[in-house]
Amino acid sequence: MTIQTKTPNLLDNPPIPVQAKLAAAWTSFMFLYIYVDYFHLYKPGAIDDILVGVVFKFDITPALLTAFLALIAIPALMVMLSMTLPARVNRAMNLVVASLYIPVTVFNAAGASWDWAFFDGLSIGLEVLLLAFIVRSAWTWPRTHRRPSRSRDSRPSTVGIRVKPFGGKPTTADTGP
């Protein structure tokens, strides 16, 4: 009779590449970013303000809408860039963009009323948590240790190798380059 003492692990948990973690975090950030703006439309008076040409106390102009587009386009592009950029550039881009978006996200609290403090606080808090995850993931990006490469034509150095001449005592030879 065989007794199994070790329970088999039925689920495989392979490591997730940093690029995939970053792309997933930027995707989650984008969903929150867009839905928070969408749910803002349900606040009383928001639609009326838009109809008279005002958003967040700013007049709706082509420049404002272009700025809003840029604020949305950058994290949207970071989803793709996080999967395609080389590691060194990828790490730097994620550190810079996520760090810059933290104050942009916190700025959304400006002008908020206490009636909506829980909604605004929760949305900003979740977005900042995702941005902090992005910064942490990029900051702790695993490094590979480089081994010095030797080309086919290079020979190992023979400096300091003891050579024993025929019939003689060992001596130190300097036959290196």
Domain parsing of the chain, residue ranges: 18-139
Q: Low-confidence residues of the chain, pLDDT below 70?
A: 1-9, 147-177
75-91 burial by CB neighbour count: b if 16+ within 10 A, else e?
bbebbebbeebeeeebb
Q: What is the pLDDT of residues 41-76, one digit of tens each?
A: 999 999 999 999 998 888 999 999 999 999 999 999
pLDDT of residue 127: 96
pLDDT of residue 92: 97
DSSP 146: P
Whole-Å CA distances, 85 to 18, 90, 92, 110, 168: 12, 5, 10, 34, 61
pLDDT of residue 57: 84
